[in-house]
Amino acid sequence: MNKSEEYSRLHFIVKSFVMGQIGSLLTLIIVFFVGKIDFIQLIIIGGFVYIIVLVILRFGNSAVEYLTHEILRFLDRRPKFKKFLLRYF
Protein backbone atom coordinates (compact mmCIF):
# COMPACT_ATOMS: atom_id res chain seq x y z
CA MET A 1 0.00 0.00 0.00
CA ASN A 2 1.48 3.34 -1.01
CA LYS A 3 1.35 6.53 1.07
CA SER A 4 -1.58 8.04 -0.84
CA GLU A 5 -3.79 4.98 -0.31
CA GLU A 6 -2.72 4.78 3.33
CA TYR A 7 -3.59 8.45 3.89
CA SER A 8 -6.96 8.05 2.15
CA ARG A 9 -7.88 5.04 4.27
CA LEU A 10 -6.82 6.77 7.48
CA HIS A 11 -8.72 9.89 6.49
CA PHE A 12 -11.88 7.84 5.92
CA ILE A 13 -11.45 5.98 9.23
CA VAL A 14 -10.89 9.16 11.22
CA LYS A 15 -13.73 11.07 9.54
CA SER A 16 -16.10 8.14 10.19
CA PHE A 17 -15.00 8.17 13.83
CA VAL A 18 -15.68 11.91 14.11
CA MET A 19 -19.09 11.45 12.48
CA GLY A 20 -19.93 8.68 14.95
CA GLN A 21 -18.91 10.81 17.92
CA ILE A 22 -21.04 13.74 16.77
CA GLY A 23 -24.00 11.41 16.18
CA SER A 24 -23.70 9.73 19.55
CA LEU A 25 -23.47 13.11 21.30
CA LEU A 26 -26.60 14.36 19.53
CA THR A 27 -28.44 11.12 20.38
CA LEU A 28 -27.40 11.44 24.03
CA ILE A 29 -28.65 15.04 24.16
CA ILE A 30 -31.99 14.13 22.55
CA VAL A 31 -32.51 11.16 24.88
CA PHE A 32 -31.58 13.33 27.86
CA PHE A 33 -34.28 15.87 26.97
CA VAL A 34 -36.94 13.35 25.91
CA GLY A 35 -36.34 10.94 28.76
CA LYS A 36 -37.40 7.37 28.13
CA ILE A 37 -37.74 6.25 24.49
CA ASP A 38 -38.96 3.08 22.84
CA PHE A 39 -37.72 1.24 19.75
CA ILE A 40 -39.78 3.14 17.17
CA GLN A 41 -38.70 6.49 18.62
CA LEU A 42 -35.10 5.29 18.54
CA ILE A 43 -35.34 4.48 14.82
CA ILE A 44 -36.88 7.88 14.08
CA ILE A 45 -34.30 9.70 16.22
CA GLY A 46 -31.51 7.69 14.58
CA GLY A 47 -32.57 8.75 11.09
CA PHE A 48 -33.00 12.34 12.25
CA VAL A 49 -29.54 12.39 13.89
CA TYR A 50 -27.92 10.83 10.81
CA ILE A 51 -29.29 13.60 8.58
CA ILE A 52 -28.22 16.28 11.07
CA VAL A 53 -24.69 14.83 11.22
CA LEU A 54 -24.47 14.84 7.41
CA VAL A 55 -25.55 18.50 7.38
CA ILE A 56 -23.00 19.35 10.09
CA LEU A 57 -20.26 17.60 8.14
CA ARG A 58 -21.28 19.39 4.95
CA PHE A 59 -21.48 22.91 6.37
CA GLY A 60 -18.80 22.49 9.02
CA ASN A 61 -16.37 20.84 6.63
CA SER A 62 -13.45 23.14 7.43
CA ALA A 63 -13.65 22.39 11.16
CA VAL A 64 -14.02 18.66 10.55
CA GLU A 65 -11.13 18.65 8.08
CA TYR A 66 -8.97 20.54 10.59
CA LEU A 67 -9.81 18.01 13.31
CA THR A 68 -9.17 15.11 10.93
CA HIS A 69 -5.84 16.62 9.89
CA GLU A 70 -4.78 17.05 13.54
CA ILE A 71 -5.69 13.43 14.33
CA LEU A 72 -3.71 12.25 11.29
CA ARG A 73 -0.71 14.30 12.46
CA PHE A 74 -1.08 12.64 15.87
CA LEU A 75 -1.10 9.23 14.17
CA ASP A 76 2.04 10.08 12.18
CA ARG A 77 3.91 10.36 15.48
CA ARG A 78 2.63 6.94 16.60
CA PRO A 79 3.42 4.44 13.83
CA LYS A 80 2.37 1.34 15.80
CA PHE A 81 -1.11 2.69 16.44
CA LYS A 82 -1.35 3.86 12.84
CA LYS A 83 -0.40 0.39 11.60
CA PHE A 84 -2.98 -1.14 13.94
CA LEU A 85 -5.73 1.08 12.52
CA LEU A 86 -4.76 0.26 8.95
CA ARG A 87 -4.63 -3.44 9.64
CA TYR A 88 -7.86 -3.92 11.59
CA PHE A 89 -10.17 -1.17 10.34
Q: For residues 56 and 22, what is the distance between their CA atoms, to the nearest angstrom?
A: 9
- Residue 14 within any structural domain of the chain: no
Asked if residue 11 is part of any domain, the answer here is no
Kindly report whether the global pTM for this prediction surpasses the value 0.95.
no
Whether residue 39 is contained in a domain is answered as yes
Note whether residue 72 is domain-resident: yes
Residue 7 domain flag:
no
Structurally, how many domains does the chain consist of? 1
Reduced to 3 states (helix: H, G, I; strand: E, B; else coil), residue 77 is coil
d(CA 82, CA 72): 9
Instruction: Give the range of the structural domain holding residue 55, as residue numbers without chain letter.
Output: 20-88
DSSP string, 19-72: HHHHHHHHHHHHHHHH-S--HHHHHHHHHHHHHHHHHHHHHTHHHHHHHHHHHH
- Chain segment 14-37, per-residue pLDDT in tens: 999 999 999 999 999 999 998 888
Residue 51 lies in a domain: yes
Asked if residue 52 is part of any domain, the answer here is yes
State the pLDDT at residue 61.
Answer: 85
